Amino acid sequence: MFGLRRTNMLKMKSIPTRKTHVVLGPEARLTPTPTSRHSNPSSFVHRDLTKCTHVLLRVDKVRRSLEAPYTGPHRVIRWDESGKTVVLDLKGEPVTVSIDRVKPAYLLAEG
């Protein structure tokens, strides 16, 4: 191919031509500008979330039509010290989940 031996072709990443060398010369010195993040992203936390005894847990999967987006109510066992996770009672077993997946469950008082 192009009169070059195969061993030379493997060593070269591309075959430079005069025009591409001239065009890519100034662009090779360009570098991207450093970016910065001007916002502090935070997730919404309901004000009643830390006081509630039961929560609804969001299902993180593709749901079928008419399938509920939340399961529960599930009993809260304890809140983690970091404030970002909660331990729930799911089918009799303690499970740690992020507070981004839960919302307070408002239960009616019996009686």
Per-residue pLDDT reduced to its tens digit, 40-96: 777 778 888 888 999 999 999 998 999 999 998 999 999 888 888 999 999 999 999
What residue segments make up the domains of the chain, in order of their start? 54-104
Please say whether the beta carbons of 52 and 76 come within 8 A: yes
Place of tokens 């070269």: 12
pTM, full prediction? 0.60
For 64, what's the count of Cα atoms within 13 Å in the CB-facing half-sphere?
A: 1
In angstroms, the Cα distances linking 108 to 54, 77, 105, 111 are 12, 20, 10, 9
pLDDT digits (tens, 9 = 90+) for 2-51: 554 555 555 556 665 655 555 566 667 778 888 887 777 777 788 888 88
Record the tokens describing residue 39, joined without a space: 């916002």
- CATH code of the domain occupying 54-104: 2.30.30.140
